[in-house]
Structure 1
Amino acid sequence: APMMRFNLIIVQPPLILIAGLYILFDLSTIANFGGNFGGSIAHVSGLAFGYASVKLRQNGTDILGWFTKLLESIARIFTASRNKSPKMKVKYSKRNVGKKKKATSTQGKTKTDADYNVEKAERQAKIDAILDKIKSSGYESLSKVEKDYLFNEGKRL
């Protein structure tokens, strides 16, 4: 991004050149004690801090982690009231009291990305084989198991 061109009327200098000229202007203002001395000090200090924080972040040190957490906690104060759901009450009918429901939880069925990709590739290969069979021999040549598999995979997508 520093070498990205900035469109001016006649020339298209890279952003790094514009930033460098701005920094030189601020440094000359500081050296001459002229103009907006305090503003120039603030700009150069902000530049130095920003550069240092980026370089430290690239090396794995996050010096702004505490500040990020502070801002997130402040934002949570303002968004917490919007995200609250109304209090809901669960009512049980007399018919369902004492009856056990079947567990529909998916806990214990989590897969790694690699396992999921292998299963997906196997399913796709099986579908491709069935479709090739349809192409060569027609739909009627499929067994009931193949028809059911194709139907269930179609619903799954």
Structure 2
Amino acid sequence: MLEDLPLLQALVLWDLDNVTCLSSSLDQRKPLSPSLRLLEMEGMKKLEKWTHAAVNSSTMLSPVLEKLYIEDCRNIILLDESLQHPLVRLHISKCENLEYVRSIQGLTCLQYLDIISCPSLLEIPDLHNERCALKELTVGI
């Protein structure tokens, strides 16, 4: 459905309590929307994963995604951002079961990283990268 909106730049998904997974597109090689710059997901209490993509990879959502907000998505356990893309802001909060945020090194444009109220988080991502653009880091339980 969203692949039919190639100019879509912002997508906000709120309180979709029964959604358990998001599909990037019917064609596994294409992103959800090639122009999507902002994705906000809030109150998706049963969301566990994105399918038809690398595990939860925002590159399959959009190759130009700049801002990703994930809030109160309690069932997400792993975010794996292993490919390079221009994500500037990553905000994750109230994801009670989130254990890992991996491979942040590929996010060379990332300037703002917030991980807040994620009590199951087992480790903070490795931020040692000579190409790191990080300006602000907020971590709190």
Which structure exhibits the higher relative contact order, with contacts defined as CA atoms closer than 8 Å and separated by 6 or more residues?
2
Q: Give the structure with the higher percent strand.
A: 2
Which is richer in helix? 1
Return the TM-score normalized by structure 2: 0.18
TM-score when scaled to structure 1?
0.17
